[in-house]
Amino acid sequence: MGIESICSADASEPFWDWNLTWYTEDPDFTPCFQNTVLVWIPCTYLWICFPVYYLYLRRHDRGYIQMSNLNKAKTALGLILWIVCWADLFYSFWERSQNGYQKIFYLISPTVLGITMLIATYLIQYERIKGVQSSGVMTIFWFISLLCATVILISKIKHALNMGAEVDAFRYVTFCIYFVLLFAQLILCCFPEQPPLFSETVNDPNPCPEFSASFLSRITFWWITGLMIQGYRSPLEAKDLWSLNKDDKSEQIVPHLARNWAKEWSKTKRRPLDMLYAPKKQQKSSDSNGDVTEEAEALIIKPSQKSSEASLFKVLYKTFGPYFLMSFLFKAAHDLLMFAGPEILKLLLNFVNNKAAPDWQGYFYTVLLFVCACLQTLILHQYFHICFVTGMRLKTAIVGVIYRKALVITNSARKTSTVGEIVNLMSVDAQRFMDLATYINMIWSAPFQVILALYLLWQNLGPSVLAGVAVMILLVPINAVMAMKTKTYQVAQMKSKDNRIKLMNEILNGIKVLKLYAWELAFREKVLEIRQKELQVLKKSAYLAAMATFTWVCAPFLVALSTFAVYVTVNKNNILDAQKAFVSLALFNILRFPLNMLPMVISNIVEASVSLKRLRVFLSHEELDPDSINRGPTTEAEGCIVVKNATFSWSKTDPPLLNSINFTVPEGSLVAVVGQVGCGKSSLLSALLGEMDKKEGYVVVKGSVAYVPQQAWVQNATLEDNIIFGREMNESRYKRVIEVCALLPDIEILPSGDKTEIGEKGVNLSGGQKQRVSLARAVYCNADVYLLDDPLSAVDAHVGKHIFEKVIGPKGILKNKTRLLVTHAINYLPQMDTILVMTDGEISEMGSYQELLEQDGAFAEFLRTYANAEQSMENSESDPSLEGTMEPLETDTNSPSTKEGKPVENGVLVNEAPGKLMHSRDTGKSQQQSSTAELQKPLAEKNSWKLTEADTAKTGRVKASVYWDYMKAIGLFMSFLSIFLFLCNHIASLASNYWLSLWTDDPVINGTQQYTDVRLGVYGALGISQGIAVFGYSMVVSIGGIFASRHLHHNLLHNVLRSPMSFFERTPSGNLVNRFSKEIDTIDSTIPPIIKMFMGSMFNVIGACIIILLATPIAAVIIPPLGLAYLFVQRFYVATSRQLKRLESVSRSPVYSHFNETLLGVSVIRAFEEQKRFIKQNDMKVDENQKAYYPSIVANRWLAVRLEYVGNFIVLFAALFAVIARNKLSAGLVGLSVSYSLQITAYLNWLVRMSSEVETNIVAVERVKEYTEMEKEAEWSIEQTAPASTWPEEGKIEFRGYGLRYREDLDLVLKNINVTINGGEKIGIVGRTGAGKSSLTLGLFRINEAAEGEIIIDGINIAKIGLHDLRFKITIIPQDPVLFSGSLRMNLDPFDQHSDEDIWRSLELAHLKNFVSSLPDKLNHECAEGGENLSVGQRQLVCLARALLRKSKILVLDEATAAVDLETDKLIQSTIKSQFEECTVLTIAHRLNTIMDYTRVLVLERGEVVECGSPEQLLRKRGIFYSMAKDSGLV
């Protein structure tokens, strides 16, 4: 009665009348309903939104927007609306005073409406002040108001046209004005305001258009269209991308998370946890099968305090919780709308069956279906957008936090997380969180959907539903078991893959050694063996995948079959009509999604929780204590570095490494630290830098510190950036630094001088150059204290002398600074102010050179051993007057050689960069320029010189030939078979559903249908045949995929190993490893399932179209234009999306490489106190990456919204045509066509997703093929010309007019060399760096082919025989001792050609027998990657043992410079003298004393032989050799 009383006092006017509104050809609402409900709907909406929205705006202030005409117009219209409403109100009062009685709603409604309009006007202004450019709340409000007003307007027009009805003129006029104003407001609302004052967008060159777009543009993602068009016209480049929104930037997000984590961590840190770091090393030796995959995690000793762990989840929730709340609301709305489809379908089928129903109802349902579908689309994609953006922010935050943490963790914590693991945290684990963000809502949404669907099904079919549910529930554990199995297979496969990549990595790093030893085949077999294991696992998971596809495709069918079968057989009177069948099918289709998603989401959550734990462990590592070292300003007299009673260890739990250290260094003095290997010299410097844990004592280091580490750390930046290292440029100082550090000649050689980009880890610099760059960086930064860790070890003697004089020594550029120099060079010691002698972590003596000699203690002993070692070698040939002590260096400074223009290391050392030969002077310049044309380019263009060919992002579409290649790799028979099986499956599927529609149209006689059993039987049979076809094609595609990956990997591996050395120098090893890991992995496990899904969705779409055409042939008019629209959108999208994906992956690498670099140089960064700058750089790189990622998410949404609209139109037309032709159509066919059209949206979406996925992933095949078509080196063995097995018998080598160049377009590095070396001669090859010494050996091994002339060994021209035939017969002891991970035995004899006795004998001769027999596994001792668990000297001896095993007639020694201490060197030399007496030995010498007793010496200069003869003759000639001997102090 309540609502009726508002309508009229005596309830004569009803509030609602069914006969007026529903059961009529001409529907209308009662006046009372129009004036109450339709007016109140928009008001209620605004009143509910207002408080929430108001609070939101108060919190989020975007800046102030100035009054604009648009804003003025909106406000004015709002006020006029208010006036119109109140005019109505006053009119009602006036009327009341006239007639005395008035309907109450004429008073209530205008009042409410007026207040609402005032609120709206207030919001328009408030939004302007808070900087909202376009408001969703208001747009929706005006839209709802207009919609309600339209209904009233239509009714009023009908009423006015109705003859003889009285018309309330005043209210008609005000209502028309009101309607027009609403319409105007809605139009104005579609235009955005100008951006707020002082906002970032003003000074941003390329702002993101999102915030300045209107509301409509934002919900349909129209604002990205500009970028799409641009991407379609020409491939996008990095400069086309928009800047990130402020809220997505690292500087905004990361500190927020870091603060929350710090709060949480400090809560739990109050009680200290005892962290115990599980040691890494023992694990390696104990696991003989090389299974070192377990992470050594921090073990927490007291489990009782488990509760006090900092919860990372809480922190993440605190930081990102609000976003998830929004997504929750959207998801809930979408889920409810999803069930509207089947319900409306039910009503539609009722309408088709009920011939009496008025036509407009059908159109009404059609429109309703369409509107629901459209709303669903918009809401779903807003939801996804929020999720993806939140995921992206999560990733940014996590990467930033990890990076900041990595800069402060202690070294002991660093040991537990290897560089690889930390990088994994950044890549894999952060990615997992990102993926989870989109699915986390499924946790509540999936059960919700299932319950709703079951409820509706129960209403429809009653208890028979339980049969279907039972089948579904049965399938869940099957799916779960398969998921578990797949997981275990995945783990196994990952393990094999890791092993394979590790091996590939080593092969690529040691490729030069492999080629010199001709070991490629042995290693190829090792890789293929691992690969075989991997493929076996893959095959198993392929069978599983086929099963999974089978259950996934057949589940809905089985469910429908069981339900219908039970429903029909339980009771004869249960009739399967169209409404029951097709509504149920639609609901089953909805059910299918959450049931399949749940297991996936759960496994995702499990993965993410593992990641969460790993992150928490990493973020809880202990940090360095910044206060352990007092870095005071430089005052006070006591000295610049003061250490009192200090004891240091690497971590809290380790035993101390440096004990009771006491020393003081006065300001400006030069102190040397000397001692045997491993006595703690470098640790002392680390301790002064605060890198070690101070147990007790007191340390002061006054002023700023510069540090030169023993292993030079070079960034991947220009040479200039490496030296300046973030300080401002000072030209004169910079020039001076370069000069004193002897870098000028090197800079002349580099392609673009000091602007040359240096590769990662400094690959295009020699060891000596890296060391000097590192020194230059320290000198440039002009600090107060210099800690130099053996900077002279990697440079040639004369360069070392130059650097000592000009930089470190008493007359150098640093003469007024405090310098602490760790050194092995005895000859500089007399010039030191103080010398600290260390033994076993303690300072045993200190004093000046003379004092220490007089004390006659450890230092004098140290001097004697070293001095004698050097002397004994020299005495034999050089002047006898040299005996006694070493002459101090002073006398040497005026020697002519320093005057004649510094004999610096001029050239990119060939021998010091392991697998990367960068070549001597003439070649360095253009080593990377690909054609002669480029050589003539002027210098200006040289600045763009890049070292390595970056991994290029391909542009444009993938060629058809790539698909054809892949099909050929599978095998054509398999390919066509799979397509045929696909067809069978879909024909069966269509037939079964068509059969169902025929069944539902069976006439009902006496309340039952005839032929139920036949119908059921055929329906079942069609279903089973469909299942068989599915299983068939799954199997075929999966197995075909494995064939393809086997074939492609085998080819890739073979061809890469056959590539010449130059290919490996040009190509960064990262690119190659990428091909073997990422691309092969894509071919293995991504392409087959994607092809299955692509084919599936394609046939589904075609099938749906066929069914719609069968039901309503008139749809033929509509489907082609929609198809065209679809293709148009899809082409547009794929072009842009492909390029965005490429840009994203190209910009991802710098994040990781910068991170890797930081981890390697973290002590340098801390010493120079540059952490802030590096954090900023990291943030910038992450933002660069997200800049490409963000548009790609939005592009996905853009596409999905447009495609779903195409799908929604198909739904609209399918329903519309069905309604139009309802008299000719049976309900079964309508049900069939509409239920298919309801699914088509999802299929269309999938189809575009999959087609673009196929395109992006098939690129892997293209990139793998790319490397199989590269140039190859000569054949490995040629049967016709193979030499006799005993060749070479005497070992005579002749060079006849020999010349060599590194690339076609470069000058000769060696020219007209004519030398004959007789069998058994011992030849020394000397020359300055870059003279071509190493090039000679490269020519001998045919690493580079001769450009002219020839080399004859024992009468055979080596260019005519196979490479392996040649390389097996010559042995080299390379300069860098490279070992591969594997047993020691494998490293000595990979082909298993020798017996154990032989191996032990060679080890004995190489002085390794004692060491090896002391190992637990003896010959099977596992060498770590790169042989890291042996010392450098031991590795050198292993290489010697290799040579002794091969015992060939010709031995080449590429001398080791700094790797070996003098004792080891003596051992090697004596072994070679005794063991290779009758062999020809060629030695490239850096230390002249080693070759003074050779038969002859060749002196090379600029690639030509300038002097040749015995050492005595050459010394008498007083030529180049003499001056070199003089430099080394041998004369």
Task: Say what the pTM is.
Answer: 0.76
The percent of residues in the chain predicted with pLDDT above 90, rounded, is: 9
Least-confidence region, from 364-378, 709-723, 1320-1334 = 1320-1334
Token pair 């095949």 in the structure block, residue: 1261
Residue 266 binned pLDDT confidence (cut-offs 50, 70, 90): confident
**Pairing label, strands 1496-1501, 1480-1484:** unpaired
d(C-alpha 634, C-alpha 797), whole Å: 35
Q: Are 599 and 476 in contact, with CB atoms under 8 Å apart?
A: yes
Tokens at 686, concatenated: 């680390």
pLDDT value at 1430 more than 50: yes
Q: Model confidence over 177-212: pLDDT tens digits?
A: 999 999 999 999 888 888 877 665 556 778 888 878
Select, from the ranges 173-182, 1050-1059, 1077-1086, 1158-1167, the one with the highest average predicted confidence (pLDDT): 173-182
Q: What is the mean pLDDT of the chain?
A: 80
Q: What is the average per-residue pLDDT within 1088-1111?
A: 86
pLDDT value at 893 more than 50: no
- Phi, psi at residue 1244, to the nearest 5°? -60, -45
Q: Are 1294 and 1352 in contact, with CB atoms under 8 Å apart?
A: yes
Residue 1282 or 67, more confident: 67
Q: What is the average per-residue pLDDT within 1362-1384?
A: 80
pLDDT value at 282 more than 60: no
Residue 911 binned pLDDT confidence (cut-offs 50, 70, 90): very low
Q: Are 1331 and 1502 in contact, with CB atoms under 8 Å apart?
A: yes
Residue 760 or 426, more confident: 426
Q: What is the pLDDT of residue 1179?
A: 93
Select, from the ranges 116-120, 543-547, 1133-1137, the one with the highest average predicted confidence (pLDDT): 116-120
d(C-alpha 1127, C-alpha 1249), whole Å: 13
Q: Are 712 and 770 in contact, with CB atoms under 8 Å apart?
A: yes
Q: What is the pLDDT of residue 76?
A: 93
Q: What is the average per-residue pLDDT within 1483-1510?
A: 81
Q: What is the average per-residue pLDDT within 1252-1280?
A: 79
pLDDT value at 127 more than 70: yes
Q: What is the pLDDT of residue 140?
A: 92
Angle (CA) 1137 251 321, round 5°: 80
Residue 1472 or 814, more confident: 814
pLDDT value at 1411 more than 70: yes
Q: What is the pLDDT of residue 181?
A: 93
Residue 955 binned pLDDT confidence (cut-offs 50, 70, 90): low
Q: Model confidence over 839-855: pLDDT tens digits?
A: 888 888 888 888 888 88
d(C-alpha 37, C-alpha 104), whole Å: 14
659 SS3 class: strand
Q: Nearest Cα to 75, choosing from 39, 128, 114?
A: 128
The percent of residues in the chain predicted with pLDDT above 70, rounded, is: 88
d(C-alpha 920, C-alpha 906), whole Å: 8
pLDDT value at 59 more than 50: yes
Angle (CA) 292 295 301, round 5°: 130
d(C-alpha 955, C-alpha 360), whole Å: 53
For residue 990, count other CB atoms closer than 10 A to its CB: 22
Q: What is the pLDDT of residue 932?
A: 31
- Contact partners, residue 968, CB within 8 Å, separation at least 6: none
Residue 886 binned pLDDT confidence (cut-offs 50, 70, 90): very low
Q: What is the pLDDT of residue 941?
A: 35
Q: Nearest Cα to 1483, choosing from 1474, 800, 1475, 1493?
A: 1493
Cβ-based burial of 1174 (10 A; exposed 0-12, middle 13-18, buried ≥19) = buried
Q: What is the pLDDT of residue 1?
A: 44
d(C-alpha 564, C-alpha 464), whole Å: 8
Q: Are 1135 and 227 in contact, with CB atoms under 8 Å apart?
A: no
- Contact partners, residue 143, CB within 8 Å, separation at least 6: 186
d(C-alpha 560, C-alpha 461), whole Å: 11
**In this structure, which amino acid lies at residue 720?**
E
Q: What is the average per-residue pLDDT within 532-556?
A: 83
Q: What is the pLDDT of residue 931?
A: 32
Q: Are 545 and 1089 in contact, with CB atoms under 8 Å apart?
A: yes
Residue 819 or 955, more confident: 819
Torsion of CA 230, 235, 239, 244, to 10 degrees: 70
Q: What is the pLDDT of residue 142?
A: 93
- For residue 955, give Cα distances in angstroms to 935, 951, 1087, 1185: 27, 13, 20, 18
d(C-alpha 705, C-alpha 641), whole Å: 11
Q: Model confidence over 1269-1318: pLDDT tens digits?
A: 777 777 777 877 777 777 878 888 888 888 888 777 777 888 888 888 88
Residue 1082 binned pLDDT confidence (cut-offs 50, 70, 90): confident
Q: Model confidence over 484-508: pLDDT tens digits?
A: 888 888 888 888 888 888 888 888 8
pLDDT value at 691 more than 80: yes
Q: Are 1062 and 1302 in contact, with CB atoms under 8 Å apart?
A: yes
pLDDT value at 294 more than 50: no
Q: Nearest Cα to 565, choosing from 551, 548, 584, 550?
A: 584
Q: What is the pLDDT of residue 889?
A: 33
CA atoms within 13 A on the CB side of 1409: 12
Tokens at 689, concatenated: 């830098």
Select, from the ranges 468-472, 597-601, 1050-1054, 1128-1132, the one with the highest average predicted confidence (pLDDT): 1050-1054
Q: What is the average per-residue pLDDT within 56-82?
A: 88
